[in-house]
């Protein structure tokens, strides 16, 4: 008992402390409530009375769309898991030159703009048996999401104590048995979490499915878009949006439960042996296949009517496109950069406030439960229909004091909604790893709350914050779903213009779309390269 007299006693909360806590709680919750819960609630509330749900859900087309959505999401999740596991082993368990570069290359497809990925596969598979088929969509979705499995499972694999595997091998167990009986059970929570997220992303895919499948192979997401924009069936769109929201909540709960398994400290990578040769060869082949759509896109961008050259790129700087578009392509790029910068500022402000709040460990069970609910709520924008969010904005934010329907500020806000969860998932693990006694000691010495946050939390998490900034900018730069409904023709972003060019007749328009896609991809790759240089090796999730 006597030792308790020397324990550090946390000071009584001051008015400044209370103010900072209130701001830290109000910023993320208020942002989520005003710009997500309220617009989505208004959209989903349209036409849900009078048995509308049953009528919509029993339509033959709805049943077919639901079946296609589940099928493509399930097949893609299984494929990504099977492909991603050996790559995670190579990139996170072994040690070799160029490992950091390969990790960066693996994540590039995940942050590529969806409309660019769709266009790349459309060109790659043209005049092949897969052109315009369900298989083309599956290939694009696997290309897009395999990084989720690699990064999520890889981070967990990196932290496993290798001594259990060594003990099993010393007892005569072969590599396959060691993996099945020792490694796989310990990786299962992260595998379930990654597969759940991949299923979620594939079930809510929009740009890729729209470019490759059109209305023939739709998902719930594209069907919501079709019902809203083509048939003005807001009631049907609302019902499908509600179904989608229920699925998102269930999948996020499953992923969070699997992710709640305590993380272990990272162990050193081991050197490669001949036994690793099959996994290394497999990873190399997959890396080459992942690069193929982008290489094809670059090659096609250099093909013009006059032969090989830079004509498609030179056309981007011209003003001749005003005959087909409201603005030239270069102006759309400027708009994209401006909107992405504003969205990143919003996402980092909200994401950092949320991360600091979620990193605290209150003694009260009720408060801990509240923090868990906030954590789960912040992930919802990743899975809810971008169409639902976009039209929710137009419906809900059209009257004082939030009459923003004609304001360009809606675009960066919608982009920030998608970026905030990625910021939290990047920064939060580091903040949770900080010893709480450091904050208590600083507070005991009279350090103001804002300074404790600035010097301890933000100081230690400086590199993850820089990585989160780049990731938020890259994701905002390529956001297509909500932006396609919120951006005005004279303020269209580059992904929106690329999609419009693809739909316009004429070879020049397609060539310009491909060239613009290469420019957008190059910017994304450059940003992710900077992110990987600033990302600590202990951070592997999204």
pLDDT of residue 19: 56
Structural domain includes residue 223: yes
Q: What pLDDT score does 261 carry? A: 52
Residues 6 or more apart in contact with residue 108 via CB below 8 angstroms: 147, 524, 525, 528
Answer positive or negative: Cα dihedral of 362, 368, 373, 376: positive
Examine residue 225 and state whether it is found in any structural domain, yes or no. Answer: yes
Cα(356)–Cα(15) distance, rounded to whole angstroms? 19
CA-based nearest residue to 465, from 504, 416, 518, 428? 428
Cis preceding-peptide flag for 401 (omega within 30 of 0): yes
Residues in contact with 295: Cβ distance below 8 Å, sequence separation at least 6, in sequence order: none
Q: How many domains does the chain have?
A: 1
Q: Is 125 exposed, middle or buried (0-12, 13-18, 19+ CB in 10 A)?
A: buried
**308 by DSSP, 3-state: which?**
strand
Q: What single DSSP character describes residue 454?
A: I
- The answer to whether residue 382 is domain-embedded is no
- Is residue 445 in some structural domain? no
The answer to the question of residue 191 being in a domain is yes
Domain of residue 225: give its range: 46-230+273-300
In-domain check, residue 348 = no
Kindly report the CATH number assigned to the domain that includes residue 288: 1.10.3720.10
Q: Which of 130, 140, 132, 144 is nearest to 213 (CA)?
A: 132
pLDDT at 318: 67
**Phi, psi (rounded to 5 degrees) for 399:** -145, 150
Please say whether the dihedral angle defined by the alpha carbons of residues 34, 114, 152 and 218, taken in this order, is positive or negative. positive
Q: Confirm if 164 and 182 have CB atoms less than 8 A apart.
A: yes
pLDDT value, residue 81: 94
In the DSSP assignment, the letter for residue 320 is: G
Q: Are 514 and 119 in contact (CB under 8 A)?
A: yes
Q: Look at residue 120 and tell me if it is in a domain.
A: yes
- The backbone torsions φ and ψ at residue 109, rounded to the nearest 5 degrees and listed phi first, read -55, -35
Return averaged pLDDT per consecutive 10 residues of the chain, 542 residues in all.
44 52 74 88 70 79 90 94 91 77 78 88 89 90 92 82 76 76 84 88 86 80 83 81 80 69 52 71 84 90 86 76 66 92 94 84 72 79 76 79 79 91 86 74 68 76 86 89 81 89 76 90 84 55 48
The answer to whether position 369 is within a domain reads no
């Amino acid at each position: 008992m006597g030792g308790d007299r020397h324990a550090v006693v946390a000071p009584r909360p001051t008015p400044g402390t209370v103010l900072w806590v209130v701001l830290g709680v109000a910023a993320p919750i208020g942002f989520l409530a005003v710009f997500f819960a309220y617009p989505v609630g208004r959209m989903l509330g349209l036409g849900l009375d009078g048995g509308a749900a049953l009528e919509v859900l029993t339509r033959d087309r709805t049943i077919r769309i639901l079946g296609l959505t589940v099928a493509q999401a399930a097949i893609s999740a299984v494929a990504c898991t099977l492909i991603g596991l050996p790559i995670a082993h190579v990139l996170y368990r072994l040690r070799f030159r160029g490992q950091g570069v390969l990790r960066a290359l693996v994540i590039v497809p995940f942050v590529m703009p969806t409309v660019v990925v769709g266009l790349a596969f459309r060109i790659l598979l043209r005049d092949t048996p897969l052109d315009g088929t369900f298989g083309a969509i599956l290939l694009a979705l696997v290309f897009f999401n395999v990084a989720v499995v690699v990064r999520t499972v890889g981070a967990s694999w990196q932290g496993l104590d290798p001594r259990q595997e060594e003990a099993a091998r010393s007892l005569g167990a072969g590599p396959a048995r060691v993996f099945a009986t020792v490694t796989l059970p310990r990786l299962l929570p992260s595998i379930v979490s990654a597969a759940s997220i991949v299923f979620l992303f594939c079930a809510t895919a929009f740009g890729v499915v729209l470019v490759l499948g059109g209305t023939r192979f739709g998902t719930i997401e594209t069907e919501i878009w079709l019902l809203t924009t083509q048939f003005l069936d807001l009631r049907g769109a609302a019902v499908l949006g509600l179904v989608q929201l229920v699925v998102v909540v269930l999948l996020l709960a499953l992923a969070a439960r699997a992710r709640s398994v305590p993380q272990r400290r990272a162990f050193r990578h081991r050197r490669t042996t001949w036994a690793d040769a099959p996994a290394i060869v497999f990873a190399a082949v997959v890396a080459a296949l992942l690069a193929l759509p982008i290489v094809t896109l670059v090659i096609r961008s250099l093909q013009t009517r006059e032969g090989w050259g830079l004509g498609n790129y030179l056309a981007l700087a011209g003003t001749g496109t005003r005959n087909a578009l409201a603005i030239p392509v270069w102006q759309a790029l400027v708009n994209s950069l401006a909107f992405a910068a504003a969205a990143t500022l919003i996402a980092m402000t909200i994401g950092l406030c949320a991360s600091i709040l979620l990193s605290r460990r209150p003694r009260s069970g009720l408060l801990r439960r509240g923090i868990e609910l906030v954590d789960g709520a912040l992930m919802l924008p990743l899975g809810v229909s971008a169409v639902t969010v976009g039209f929710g904005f137009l419906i809900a934010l059209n009257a004082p004091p939030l009459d923003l329907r004609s304001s360009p500020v809606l675009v960066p806000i919608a982009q920030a909604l998608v970026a905030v969860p990625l910021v939290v998932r990047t920064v939060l693990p580091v903040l949770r790893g900080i010893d709480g006694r450091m904050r208590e000691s600083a507070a005991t010495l009279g350090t103001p709350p804002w300074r404790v946050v600035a010097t301890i939390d933000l100081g230690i998490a400086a590199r993850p914050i820089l990585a989160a900034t780049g990731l938020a900018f890259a994701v905002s730069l390529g956001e297509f779903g909500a932006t396609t409904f919120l951006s005005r023709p004279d303020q269209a972003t580059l992904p929106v213009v690329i999609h419009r060019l693809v739909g316009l007749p004429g070879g020049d328009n397609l060539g310009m779309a491909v060239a613009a896609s290469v420019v957008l991809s190059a910017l994304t790759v450059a940003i992710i390269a900077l992110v990987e240089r600033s990302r600590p090796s202990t951070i592997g999730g999204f």
